Amino acid sequence: MNRTTLKIAGESGMGLLSVGRIVAKVLKHMGFYVYSDREYPSLIKGGHSNLQIDFGLKPIRSLSREVDLVIALDRAGLVEYLEVIKKGGILVHGYERAHLIKGLKEKAKSRNVTLVYLPAHSMARKLGGTDVMVNMVLLGMMWKILGLELGPLEAAIKKQFASKPVLLKIDLKCVRAGYEASEIKAVKPYKLKLPVKKPKTLLLDGNMGIALGAIEAGVRTYFQYPMSPSSSILMYLANFSHDTRMLVRQVEDEITAAEMSLGAMFVGSRSFTATSGGGYDLMTETVSLAGMTETPWVCVLCQRPGPATGLPTWTAQGDLNMAIHSSHGEFPRLVLAASDPSSCYELIQHALNYAEEFQIPVILLSEKNICEAQAMVEPFKAKIPIKRGLVTGKALEDLKPADRFKITKDGVSLRWLPGSSSTGYFGNGDEHKEDGTLTERGEEVVPMFDKRMRKLETLKKALPDPKIYGVKSDADISFIGWGSSKPVMLDTIEEMRAQGKKVNYLHYEYLWPLKEKAAEQFFKTNKNVHILEGNYQGQLANLIESATGLKFKGKYLKYNGRGFFLEDMMDYINKHS
Give the residues lining the site for other proteins (CB under 8 A). 200-204, 208, 212, 215-218, 220-221, 223, 240-248, 251-253, 255-256, 259-264, 266-271, 285-286, 289, 293, 379-380, 386, 388, 400-401, 417-430, 436-438
Least spacing, CB of residue 124 vs other proteins, in Å:
29
CB of 193 to other proteins, least distance (A): 24
In angstroms, rounded to a whole number, what is the distance separating the alpha carbons of residues 547 and 323?
18
Cβ closest to other proteins, residue 399 vs residue 480: 399
Element (H, E) at 140: helix 134-145
Nearer to other proteins, 204 or 373 (CB): 204
Instruction: Find out whether 236 and 230 touch, Cβ atoms under 8 Å.
Output: no
Q: Is the separation of the CB atoms in 541 and 445 below 8 Å?
A: no
User: Count of CB atoms within 10 A of residue 576's CB?
Assistant: 13
Rounded to a whole number of angstroms, the minimum distance from the CB of residue 370 to other proteins is 16
CB 170, min distance to other proteins, A: 26
d(CA 525, CA 478) in angstroms, rounded, equals 10
Q: Please, which residue, 428 or 528, has the CB nearer to other proteins?
A: 428
Closest CB to other proteins among residues 11, 254: 254
Min dist CB 515 to other proteins, Å, is: 29
Rounded to the nearest whole angstrom, what is the least distance from the CB of residue 202 to other proteins in the complex?
Answer: 4
CA distance 513 to 232: 29
Q: How far is 571 from 512, CA to CA, in rounded Å?
A: 31
Output b/e per residue, 224-258; b: 16+ Cβ within 10 A.
bbbbbbbbbbbbbbbebeeebebebbebeebbbbb
Q: Which residues contact 296 (CB under 8 A, 6 or more apart)?
A: 265, 290, 352, 355, 356, 358, 359, 360, 361, 362
Long-range CB pairs of 442-449, under 8 A, 24+ apart, other chains included: 447/407, 448/405, 448/407, 449/330
For residue 93, what are the β-bridge partners? 72, 117
Q: Which amino acid is at 390?
A: L
Min dist. Cβ of residue 214 to other proteins (A): 9
Strand partners of residue 507: 467, 481
Strands 202-204 and 374-377, bridge-based pairing: antiparallel
Q: Where are the alpha helices (DSSP H) in 146-244?
A: 150-160, 165-180, 206-216, 231-239, 241-244
Return the number of the residue (342 or 526) whose C-beta is nearest other proteins.
342
**Measured from the CB atom, is 251 or 407 closer to other proteins?**
251
Nearer to other proteins, 297 or 556 (CB): 297
Tell me how far, at minimum, the Cβ of 185 lies from other proteins, in Å: 39
Q: Nearest distance from residue 28's CB to other proteins, in Å?
A: 9
Question: Which one-letter DSSP state was computed for residue 164?
Answer: -
By beta-carbon proximity to other proteins, the closer residue of 266 and 559 is 266
Instruction: Considering the complex, state which of residue 260 and residue 540 has its C-beta at the smaller distance from other proteins.
Output: 260
